[in-house]
Amino acid sequence: MKCLFVRAPFAGWIVDDVKTIEYRTRPTNIRGRIGIIQSRSGTVIGTAEITGCEWNEELEHYEWKLANAARFAEPLPFPPKNGAVIWIDAEVPENRPTAPKLTAAELRKQKKEYETAIDEFLHPIAEEDVVRFWAIMKDGRELPFEDEAEFQKFLKAHKKEIADAQVEVREK
**Residues 101 and 45 grouped into a single domain:** yes
| pLDDT tens profile 159-170 | 777 666 554 444
Prediction pTM value: 0.70
Dmax over CA atoms of the chain, in Å, equals: 65
| pLDDT tens profile 61-115 | 999 999 999 999 999 998 777 767 789 888 898 889 999 999 999 999 999 999 8
In 3D, which of 27, 29, 38 has the Cα closest to residue 3? 38
Which among 105, 122, 139 is the end of a domain? 122
Sign of CA dihedral 13, 16, 22, 28: positive
Q: Tell me how far CA of residue 92 lies from CA of 12, 52, 153, in angstroms.
A: 17, 22, 59
Q: Percentage of the chain with pLDDT > 70?
A: 77
Is the pLDDT at 127 greater than 70? The verdict is no
What domain count does the chain have? 2
Q: How confident is the model at residue 48 (pLDDT cuts 50, 70, 90)?
A: very high
Amino acid at 36: I
Question: What span, in angstroms and rounded, lies between the C-alpha atoms of 4 and 24?
Answer: 12
**Residues 79 and 152 grouped into a single domain:** no
Q: How confident is the model at residue 135 (pLDDT cuts 50, 70, 90)?
A: very low
- The CATH number of whichever domain residue 109 belongs to comes to 2.30.130.30
**Residues 60 and 73 grouped into a single domain:** yes
Q: Which domain holds residue 90?
A: 2-122
